[in-house]
Amino acid sequence: IAGLVNVFEGGNLEIRDKYSFDLPPIESLEHWEELLNKLWNDSEKFANLLEQMPDSKMNEVFVDEKYGTYLRNIDGMIEHAYYHLGQVTLIKKILKN
């Protein structure tokens, strides 16, 4: 989410697939809460920026033509979040049993 937010705010696209698993280990409740707070804050910022974005921006190229349009990347982020929500739901069901 933060990677898209950075672009929405005029910054560079700094996220790369090769960094996908570079998250430091969560070794305490404090680390977990910091991660959750960052996720919630980034999500809120993402939603606010989308609300302010003109519809005409949706069909513009996102950074480079190889990445498609803003709409494609926004849709991809939303679908990615649903994917992880499904994972969390399954894990919770497994833990209850």
pLDDT mean across residues, the chain: 93
Residue % of the chain over a pLDDT of 70: 100
In this prediction, residues 26-44 reach a mean pLDDT of: 94
Residue 17's pLDDT is 79
Long-range contacts of 75-83 (CB under 8 A, 24+ apart): 77/1, 77/4, 77/46
CA pair distance 76, 70, nearest whole angstrom: 10
In this prediction, residues 60-70 reach a mean pLDDT of: 96
**What's the whole-model pTM score?**
0.81
Residue 15's pLDDT is 85
In this prediction, residues 24-49 reach a mean pLDDT of: 94
